[in-house]
Amino acid sequence: MKLDEAKALVEEWLRSNGRARNGLLPLLHHLQDAIGYIDDAMVAEIASALNLSRADVHGVLTFYHDYRRKPAGRHVVKLCRAESCQARGGAAIEAAAAELLGVAMGETRHDGQVSLEAVYCLGLCAIGPNALVDGRPIARIDTAALDRIAADVAA
């Protein structure tokens, strides 16, 4: 991330929205939408902009899984780790996906092609285990579905 670009985005956002402390979540969304992730180097700038501590900003960034602190891969595969999908074999699917995609859960493959991430319930519990592939829900994940996902994200 270019820090100058991020700082300009913060200033632009502040001009429209002010410096209220409750602007933290909207500002983080704005930055992530624009840049794709929120670099740790921006924490101090964001904290200063909203008169918060760096710990406040860091705490929010690390609490919500949907905030990215590193760039995502070109494709993002999210596997459901919530109870129903786990009861339907989610752990085995997760291990197979990591092996097939060549990336550990929570990481982006070294070539930047794919990120493998956890998600906690997609509201499709009865037809799990489930995944989101580039935002598209896929139900009843099995080894054949994993093969199709691997082919999709190779493109």
Binding positions for ligand FES, rule: CB under 6 A = 80, 82-85, 121-122, 124-125, 128, 130
Identity of the residue, 47 or 118, whose beta carbon is nearer to ligand FES in the bound complex: 118
| 63 within 8 A of 48, measured Cβ to Cβ | no
Least distance in Å: CB of 43 to ligand FES? 32
Identity of the residue, 34 or 91, whose beta carbon is nearer to ligand FES in the bound complex: 91
Identity of the residue, 35 or 119, whose beta carbon is nearer to ligand FES in the bound complex: 119
Sheet holding 75-80, edge to edge: 107-108, 114-119, 75-80, 131-133, 136-138
Least distance in Å: CB of 86 to ligand FES? 7
d(CA 131, CA 71): 20
Least distance in Å: CB of 83 to ligand FES? 6
Identity of the residue, 59 or 106, whose beta carbon is nearer to ligand FES in the bound complex: 106
Pairing between strand 136-138 and 131-133? antiparallel
Identity of the residue, 23 or 88, whose beta carbon is nearer to ligand FES in the bound complex: 88
Render the burial of 25-61: b for 16+ CB within 10 Å, e for the rest: eebbebbbeebeebbeebbebbbebbebeeebbbebb
Least distance in Å: CB of 119 to ligand FES? 8
Least distance in Å: CB of 88 to ligand FES? 8
Instruction: Give, for 126, the enclosing helix (H) or strand (E).
Output: none
